[in-house]
Amino acid sequence: MQICKVCKYLVVDETDPEVYFDEDNVSNYYYKYKEKIYPNLISKNSSILEKKILEIKQRTKKDQYDCLVGVSGGLDSSYMLHKIVVDYNLRPLVFHVDAGWNSEVAIHNINNLVDKLGLDLYTEVMNWEEMREFQLAFFKSGLPQLDVPQDMAFINILYKFAYWALCVS
């Protein structure tokens, strides 16, 4: 059995006819990324983000909250919430949808972040029986996107909540 050479940093191996590796198993794609893509990602995106954050802060300086942040309790949304508050000094209203799939770790992460960052949390608990029937219908239909019912419900709840938050502020 022959083992393919794999890049030390990227998910690419020698089955790609355009790839080649240096003596440290670093591919030409990695070097191209570091030279051409990475510098543009950081400089362009950070200036766009900083401009948007300044706009938000100007527009909402008299409001209690300046943004609405949805969290699941997972790594991505937890990191995002921490960064928004600590690095960008925004005042988010934290929003969570409980669709019946929450783990104890996720709930612990959300509560820990909200407490330590001094934020307000709004949680919407979905009707589990309705959600179950909706997801079961998708499953039985054979459609490939089984998470669509939950995504649709999340977006619907988010829009309702955002509208409510605007009305009471």
Whether the per-residue pLDDT at 134 is higher than 80: the answer is: yes
Domain boundary residue, one of 27, 59, 91: 59
Q: What is the mean pLDDT of residues 61-89?
A: 92
Residue 58: pLDDT band (50, 70, 90) is very high
How many alpha carbons fall within 13 Å on the CB side of residue 126? Answer: 25
89-100 per-position pLDDT tens digit: 999 999 999 888
Q: Which domain holds residue 46?
A: 1-59
β-bridge mates for residue 69, sequence order: 94
Looking at the fold, whether 98 and 76 belong to one and the same domain comes out as yes
Whether the per-residue pLDDT at 129 is higher than 70: the answer is: yes
- How far is residue 2's CA from residue 46's CA, in Å, rounded to a whole number? 44
Looking at the fold, whether 46 and 3 belong to one and the same domain comes out as yes
Taking the model in full, what pTM does it have? 0.68
CA angle 111, 118, 158 (to 5 degrees): 65
CATH of the domain at 135: 3.40.50.620
Answer with the residue of higher pLDDT: 112 or 43.
112
Looking at the fold, whether 106 and 153 belong to one and the same domain comes out as yes
Among 45-49, 98-102, 124-128, the least confident range: 45-49
Looking at the fold, whether 24 and 89 belong to one and the same domain comes out as no
Q: Which tokens is 124 given?
A: 């919407």
